[in-house]
Amino acid sequence: MSERITYTSTEGNESFHAAYEMALEGIAPLLGQVHPIHIGPDEIMTGRQFEVRSPIDRSILIGSFQSGGEGEAEKAVATAADGSADWDGTPWKERVAAVRSAADDLDRKKYELAALVTLEVGKNRFEAIAEVAEAVDMIRYNCRVFLEHEGFVLPMSPVAENERSESVMRPYGVFAVISPFNFPLALAGGMTSAALLAGNTVVFKPASASPLCGLMLYLAYRGGGVPPGAIHLVTGPGKPFGSVVTSHPLVDGIAFTGSRDAGMWLYRTLAANQPFSKPLVAEMGSKNPVIITPAADLDAAVEGVVRSAFGYGGQKCSATSRVYVDSRVAESFLGKLRERTDSLRVGDPREKDVYLGPLVEESAAGKFREAVELARKDGGTIATGGTVLEGGLFGRGSYVRPTIVTGLPHGHHLTRDELFVPFVVVETVSSLDEAIRAANDTEYGLTAGIFSRDAKEISRFFSGIRFGVCYANRKGGATTGAWPGAQPFTGWKASGSTGKGTGGPYYPLSFMREQARTRAT
């Protein structure tokens, strides 16, 4: 196993920078190619292609990919169903070995993959290498869970002396996996590895903004020993794929990470089209709060909020988007927050000192502009930021200044709707109880944080907050930075459908169902 690389371990690590910059040059031949859909052993060219261009600079062609429609989705499902018995029948330790080999392959290629993440989705080098490291650890952690639970076969107490009973967790069959653009390796790796380890065959559709990262993950599985009947890759628009997998009788479950609207469409359509219940393992975003009390270390709070609100341009479902600060420290906190935010450099994320790169989707800049205009219209104050950058590189991508808004009325929809841009609303409160009530006043429930050096306040926060992933005094990220095996990424309420978080010990159970077995002896 190679040296573990994370976000914090790369800061000031010159060997990392040299390896990353070499990888940026080395992956150039990978760009601009035409890529097929992979169904079973076949490479399929549909005759319908879409281009993916780098959000950093739209003149950079990442590649051309096949636009799969309903026909390709149906073929992939049927092929996955044909391969289901063989993969289910593969001993679970052999499945673990194949999936773990895929993680080892990703680890060996971590610098090249980090460079690709930067080019394809616009993460800076620190966030890109952390993305790859998280993907590797996510897959390895899921493998470890299966090993620790011995394939989820548990002896039970027999009813009669001449009987032997056991509980066996079995795969559902065929799982469709739909992954987002913002963590094209880590979140895709978590969903696909759990499904495969459980013995399901997988039809994998990466986001159309990041199909090359998805292809690299697929190839890692195939290179690691996952057979062609067990995993299939379909690229293209989401609607025809979603229409097929929510209605096809051979699809036994769906794993999805993305927006609440898309997740709820899948949920409703799956329920309407299927005559019986099939699992939907969904994580659907959030509107994440941070509470600042008078007992907080304000410098730590500022750093934690900045990293979580503006890391990767706020394009994370765990990003801080609401801050509730006690009125007694509000002025001091806001001044420090504004100063730290203004120090962040926006630009080409390939450059070493750039913190914020571009927004991935061009439409996001329009959403950002609308949010700023609405904040001003409804009485808010733009404490800093609020501008879409133009000219030079900024004219070839969607770049915005990280933005802090104050003075909006409580309950304003900018404090309720997920924006996925670097935009945070700061409100003042008079007590911790008021802050917790305001933080909970949302349909979402993914991540939340508090800054306080009072142990009783922290205990009140943990017991009163209605979110799945909760942090106290986390300078490295007030609401972000969950890691496999440390912080299971669990969404409550509209943020998740299962209550079992990826990167946690119970997550693989979402991809299996129990079978009781009794043998007379």
Q: How do residues 101-144 score in pLDDT, each as one tens digit? A: 999 999 999 999 999 999 999 999 999 999 999 999 999 999 99
Q: Give the CA angle between residues 78, 81, 86 to the nearest 5°.
A: 140
Distance CA 314, CA 13 (A): 25
Other CB atoms within a 10 A radius of the CB of residue 504 amount to 21
What CATH architecture is 7-284+498-520? 3-Layer(aba) Sandwich (3.40)
Q: Name which residue leads in pLDDT, 169 or 158.
A: 169
Catalytic residue list: 283, 317
pLDDT at 3 over 50: no
> What Cα–Cα distance (Å) separates residue 374 from each residue in 232, 323, 329, 408, 452?
44, 19, 27, 10, 32
Distance CA 13, CA 480 (A): 22
Question: Among 264, 211, 209, which residue's Cα sits nearest to residue 418?
Answer: 264
Mean pLDDT (the chain) is 96
- pLDDT on residue 1: 35
Quick: pLDDT tens for 304-361. Answer: 999 999 999 999 999 999 999 999 999 999 999 999 999 999 999 999 999 999 999 9
- pLDDT on residue 5: 52
The SS3 of residue 24 is helix
Distance CA 320, CA 47 (A): 42
- Two tokens at 14? 């010159």
Quick: pLDDT tens for 265-297. Answer: 999 999 998 877 899 999 999 999 999 999 999
- pLDDT on residue 22: 98
> Which amino acid type is present at position 164?
R
Question: Among 187, 215, 92, 100, which residue's Cα sits nearest to residue 149?
Answer: 92
Distance CA 222, CA 282 (A): 25
Q: Name which residue leads in pLDDT, 227 or 277.
A: 227
Distance of CA 100 to the CA centre of its chain: 20
Question: Among 316, 323, 326, which residue's Cα sits nearest to residue 405?
Answer: 323
Q: CATH topology for 288-483? A: Aldehyde Dehydrogenase; Chain A, domain 2 (3.40.309)
Domain ranges of the chain: 7-284+498-520, 288-483
Sign of the Cα pseudo-torsion (15, 21, 25, 30, in order) = positive
